[in-house]
Amino acid sequence: MRICPQCQCEMLEGFDVKVEGAAYGIKISAGTGIFAKRLEKPKVAVCPQCGEISLYIEHVDQLRKNRG
């Protein structure tokens, strides 16, 4: 459960980010450049009270393995 940092309301989780005009979305990668290892698609939480959004990764363990 995520809590909104602005109004302390419970956020709705599990939304997705899409690039306008395309359906492929975005991904988080370890490193820079075109050959960087892709880790995971971020999820989005939205506050139903004020509209604040929060990006998060569900599987944080992948970050620990890759940063190591």
Q: What share of the chain is helix, strand, coil (3-state, %, to 5)?
A: 10, 30, 60
17-36 pLDDT tens trace: 888 877 677 777 777 877 77
Longest dimension (CA), the chain: 40
Encoded amino acid at 25, one letter? G
Give residue 9's identity as a one-letter amino acid code.
C
Give pTM, 2 decimals. Answer: 0.70
Residue 62 structure tokens: 């992948």
Q: List the chain domain ranges.
A: 12-67
| pLDDT, tens digit (0-9, with 9 covering 90-100), for 37-56 | 777 888 999 999 999 999 98
Q: What angle do CA 54, 29, 4 make, to 5 degrees?
A: 10
Best CA proximity match to 41, nearest among 65, 19, 11, 8: 19
Quick one: pLDDT at residue 66? 58
pLDDT of residue 68 exceeding 60: no
